[in-house]
Structure 1
Amino acid sequence: MKKMMISAYTEFNLGDDLFIKVLCERYPDTRFMIIAPRLYKLVFKDIKNLKVYASDSVLFRGINYVFRKLKLHNNFLQRFLGDQSDGTVHIGGSIFMQGEHWAEYVANAEAMRNKSKPYYLMGANFGPFTDDEYYQVHRRIFPEYTDVSFREQYSYDLFKDLGNVRMAPDIIFQLKYNANETSSGQKPPAGQTIAISVIKPSSKNLSGFDNLYYEKMNDVAIYFIKQGYAVHFMSFCQHEGDQEAIGQIIGLIPAEFQEQTHVHLYKTNIDDILAALAGASCIVASRFHAMILGWVFDKPVFPVAYSSKMVNVMQDAYFTGKYTDFAHLAELTPEEVYDSMATNRLDVTLQANQAEKHFEQLDAYLSPAPLMEGRRSYES
């Protein structure tokens, strides 16, 4: 049985946590390891082939502190666990956004990577970035990876001349979900409901839009309530301000409509959010993965695109329905959202099948057929 290290964004973001869930459930005979806050033991309590090493434990932090003080390694345990594994799967979505201190971040990530072991990059998009050097550095790094699999055409086109780069639709198109089989017993909401996934725009580098966005989501919520809907607000990531945004929006809703509003705050209970989305009549998706999950659950979806990655994926999926972005948010009317729900479904059977391609190279390593001549192998 192989042991694989998982590198992922571990800030209790629903989309990223679903990546980990899909990965581990696909390979039940592989032992996975991840370094994450101790609450992740609760998030993934039902995934028996995943071991969570608590990054916030006294022991973990203490050992790393000693090695830093001795100037031996800044992240000793991360490197040690990686060395004990048979390889690493770096899985995530927006994991290549250029930050202010990007050069230091890249250097630290490369210092932790064991270059003698296979390294699989899965499900990402590249950017946004402003410096060509950021792009060029990754052009030099990516050929050292075993496999690079992007989730949209734009990112693929940036690196398609590299021999190990591929593209497939978002990994969450592969999600298998049955509300009747969840361990938490979550039931979908009854009656006509609209699920509204929210963001805090300023946390997405959309400065000056917070109040306008909150007012528009308030207008949509009130309009749907008047049409007989219950409104379910969704926070996918407290760390990124979703919960704060819900508080601001609900604060605008008049008292007589408050009883028709419900709140779902993701922290450790994946099934609660999935049940609410699966049971919704329609979805307003400010979160990227609310859009994807809405399509997976065959719901009418009205995307509120906060970045080019959402628009890129809509184009890749041939979505022709109505949506808005922040450049046109001021023009949005609740009537437009309501009317779009009659037409904004998307059959993603093709995308679900194509998303399998993300796993082609990892399948060959974790569930290999007899070794053919010329096929790359690794000694662990």
Structure 2
Amino acid sequence: MKNVMLYAYSQYNLGDDLFIKILCERYPNTIFHLLAPHNYSQTFSSQKNLKIIRRDSVLFRGTNLMTTKLDQRKLFYTYLSRNCDAIVYVGGSLFIQGDSWKKELKNVQEMHINSKPFFLLGANFGPFSEQAFLKAYHHLFQQFTDICFRDQYSYTLFKDLPNVRVATDMAFQLETIRAETDPSSVIISVIKPSIRKALRDYDAIYYKKIREIALYFIEQGYTVTLMSFCSYEKDNEAIEAITQSISVGARSHIHTFYYKHNLDEALERIASAAFIVATRFHSMILGWIFRKPVFPIVYSSKMTNIMKDINFQGNYASFYTLNTLKAETVFQSIHGNMVDITNQIIESEKQFLKLDIYLKTKT
């Protein structure tokens, strides 16, 4: 049985937690060691091959602080993975250029241990604004064993590297669940725009439009669930702001759902809905997986890149066109906006092509 050090965005984000679930279920004979808060053991209590390295323990925090101050984080990561045969870094938007991008680059450099195979799966690259950012990662990526991006745009940036591949989002490998569709149920996944630099001025218009959409569906006899995918990124604050702007009478037709430890319940909610209004990237993907009509509200190029790759032909809105978005347009999409993801299910399995070879021949 092999041991794999697993790095992921462990902040109780539903989309990233899906990646962890899919990895653990695909390789039941591999032990994954995940650096995460101790409560992740509750989130993944059914995954017996997942061991949590508690990053919120006093010992971990002290050691982390000391090695950071001494500029010895490489030694720290080496120690963490000392009993592991390989390292997997999985996630979606792992490489966005921000003000502290050099610090984040260094962190990824330190995760990489020369003596161990290193697999980077599921990510997209960007947005970025400087060639220095691209060049720095181009140099780093040459050292990895295998890199599989989830969109053609990211792949094109690094296609000259022989270890770089592309396959669509890993979430398409999720095993679908059986759930009876409630024909009167609509899910709206929401975000707090202003935590993103490019959307810092969009809270008011976005909340106003979500409110309008929710009320329109209620008027048509639907029940609306506002869904938070990640409280750490303040989805919950967005829900509170939206619900507070709705009258008490209408509020009785609005439910809320906050993801943290309840991954299976979250998936069941989406699977049983009749329609998804998707701001979160993986609410869009999950809607397609569960064969639901989806109306995307695009906040990032990662959404448009996947929509382009999948040849999505339905209606959608972007944050830059919210002012002109009509709730009636969203409602009309309930009768269309479907996509056939047969090819995506097949293609997404290629995310694991090299890791399959390594683990299934080495286990």
| TM-score normalised by the chain length of structure 1 | 0.92
Residue matched to 1:45:
45
Residue matched to 1:350:
343
Amino acid at match of 1:83: R
Whether 1:271 and 2:264 are equivalent positions in the alignment is yes
Which of 222, 230, 235 aligns to 1:237? It is 230
| 3-state SS, counterpart of residue 120 of structure 2 | strand
Runs of 4+ in structure 1 displaced over 4 angstroms?
A: 65-69, 188-191
**Aligned CA distance change for structure 1 residues 215 and 83 (closer, same or farther; 3 Å):** same
CA distance in 2, matches of 1:19, 1:197: 19
Whether 1:300 and 2:293 are equivalent positions in the alignment is yes
Amino acid at match of 1:224: F
Deviation at 1:255, TM superposition (A): 1.6
* Unaligned residue ranges in structure 2 (runs of 5+): none
Whether 1:246 and 2:245 are equivalent positions in the alignment is no
Residue matched to 1:87:
86
Residue matched to 2:64:
64
Deviation at 1:207, TM superposition (A): 1.9
Residue matched to 2:190:
198
Q: Does structure 2 conserve the Cα–Cα contact (< 8 Å) formed by 1:60 and 1:77?
A: no
CA distance in 2, matches of 1:292, 1:204: 21
Which of 267, 286, 303 aligns to 1:310? It is 303
| 3-state SS, counterpart of residue 368 of structure 1 | helix
| Most deviating of 323-332 and 250-259 | 250-259
Residue matched to 1:152:
151
Which of 268, 276, 285 aligns to 1:283? It is 276
Amino acid at match of 2:52: V
CA distance in 1, matches of 2:12, 2:344: 26
CA distance in 2, matches of 1:129, 1:87: 29
Residue matched to 2:123:
124
| 3-state SS, counterpart of residue 335 of structure 2 | coil
CA distance in 2, matches of 1:75, 1:300: 46
CA distance in 2, matches of 1:295, 1:58: 42
Deviation at 1:99, TM superposition (A): 1.6
Deviation at 1:178, TM superposition (A): 2.0
| 3-state SS, counterpart of residue 328 of structure 1 | helix
| Most deviating of 97-106 and 1-10 | 97-106
Q: Does structure 1 conserve the Cα–Cα contact (< 8 Å) formed by 2:218 and 2:224?
A: yes
**Aligned CA distance change for structure 1 residues 75 and 115 (closer, same or farther; 3 Å):** closer
CA distance in 2, matches of 1:288, 1:108: 25
Amino acid at match of 1:294: G
Residue matched to 2:250:
257
Whether 1:224 and 2:217 are equivalent positions in the alignment is yes
CA displacement, residues 220-249 of structure 1 (integer Å, 9 cap, x when unaligned): 000000111000110000111100000111
| TM-score normalised by the chain length of structure 2 | 0.96
What is the aligned residue count? Answer: 362
Residue matched to 1:104:
103
CA displacement, residues 113-157 of structure 1 (integer Å, 9 cap, x when unaligned): 211110001010000011101100111111111111000011011
| 3-state SS, counterpart of residue 327 of structure 1 | helix
| 3-state SS, counterpart of residue 240 of structure 2 | helix
CA displacement, residues 292-311 of structure 1 (integer Å, 9 cap, x when unaligned): 00000000000000011101
* Unaligned residue ranges in structure 1 (runs of 5+): 181-187, 371-380
Amino acid at match of 1:42: Q
| 3-state SS, counterpart of residue 367 of structure 1 | helix
Residue matched to 2:6:
6
Residue matched to 1:33:
33
CA distance in 1, matches of 2:257, 2:74: 35
Residue matched to 1:341:
334
| Most deviating of 60-69 and 263-272 | 60-69
Deviation at 1:190, TM superposition (A): 4.3
CA displacement, residues 170-211 of structure 1 (integer Å, 9 cap, x when unaligned): 00011013257xxxxxxx784511000001111122021101
CA distance in 1, matches of 2:220, 2:59: 55
Amino acid at match of 1:100: D
CA distance in 2, matches of 1:290, 1:265: 13
CA distance in 1, matches of 2:186, 2:97: 34
CA distance in 2, matches of 1:139, 1:74: 22
Which of 348, 352, 355 aligns to 1:359? It is 352
| 3-state SS, counterpart of residue 252 of structure 2 | helix
**Aligned CA distance change for structure 1 residues 287 and 334 (closer, same or farther; 3 Å):** same
